[in-house]
Amino acid sequence: MGYLRGFLVTFAQMGKRRVVTTEYPKEKRPKAVRLHGRHVLNRYEDGMEKCIGCELCAGVCPARCIYVRGADNPPDDPVSPGERYGFIYEINYLRCIHCDLCVEACPTEAITETKLFEFSFTNRNDAIYTRTELLVGDDGKPQELPWEDWRKGEDEHTSAWMRATSPSGSAEFVGRVAWAGELGYGVREPERGQLFDVAKDSVAGQDDPERRAKSAAAARHTPEGDQPGHGTGGSALPTPEGDTGADR
C-alpha cells in the first residue's frame, strides 16, 4: 500500500497554510550578509573619496564592465588623500556578473558591494552607473536611485564581503582588521564566518574529538542570523592567535 501513503502525504498538507514561499514584491526574504549586489564607492571618515583611479578594478574585471579614468587631484581642493583620484568611474550593470574581483583587487577598499540588486531600468543609459551615483552619500550609505527597489535595512552591510576576505587570501589574516574607516561607520568589525568559529572550537576541544566534530557541524549549520560578527556592535572575539581584532 505504499502507493496510497503518498496520497495521504499530499492530502495532509491541505489547509495547513504552512507556506514556504514568499510573496516576493510584497515581502522579501532576508538577504545574506555577504551577498554580491551593486557596488558603492566608499569614502573615508573625513569625507574624502577612497578611489585613487588606479584602474586595477577595470583591469581585473572579467566582464569588462568597469571604465575608470584617473586624474591628478586639484591641489587646492583634493578629492582623495592620494596623488590621483577616480575622475570617471562607470559600471555597466548589463555586463557586471557580481564576481567581486574588483573588490578584491582594490588597494584602498574604495569599491565594495552592497546587497542591492533589484533594479529595473527602462533604458541602457540607466544601466551604466556613474561615479556620482556609485558614491556613498554623506551618511555613508548608498544613494537610492529611482529605479531601485529598497526595503528598510537593505543599505547596510555595504562591505561585508570585503571584510570577510583576508588580505592576499592568507588564512593568518582572517578576522584581522586591515582596512581604513568608512564614512558614517568608522572602522568596522571583521566579517566573521563559520570558519572562524570552527577554528576556535577545535582549539578548545582538541582532547575530545567527538565534541569537536559536533561543534564543527553545529557551526556549519548555524542559521544565518545567529552568526557572530554580523551586527555592528558585536563583541570583539579573539582571533586564532589570541589577539583582538583592533590592534591595527
Interacting residues with other proteins between 1 and 20 (CB under 8 A): 6-7, 9-11, 13-16, 18-20
- Whole-angstrom CA distances from 218 to 73, 105, 157, 164, 208 are 51, 33, 25, 20, 15
Which of 1, 2, 23, 169 forms a contact with other proteins (CB under 8 A)?
Answer: 23
How many helices (H) does the chain have, and how many strands (E)?
8, 5
- Binding-site size for other proteins (CB under 8 A) equals 14
Question: Residue 32 and residue 193: Cα distance in Å, rounded?
Answer: 12
With respect to other proteins, which residue has the nearer C-beta, 1 or 14?
Answer: 14
Least distance in angstroms from the C-beta of 166 to other proteins: 41
Least distance in angstroms from the C-beta of 19 to other proteins: 6
- Which among 56, 128, 125 has a CA at the least distance from the CA of 92? 128
Least distance in angstroms from the C-beta of 122 to other proteins: 21
Least distance in angstroms from the C-beta of 193 to other proteins: 31
Can you read off the three cell numbers belonging to residue 59?
583591469
Query: Residues 55, 173, 85, CA angle at the centre, nearest 5°?
Result: 20
With respect to other proteins, which residue has the nearer C-beta, 7 or 169?
Answer: 7
Interacting residues with other proteins between 107 and 166 (CB under 8 A): none
Query: In the complex, which residues of this chain contact other proteins (CB under 8 A)?
Result: 6-7, 9-11, 13-16, 18-21, 23
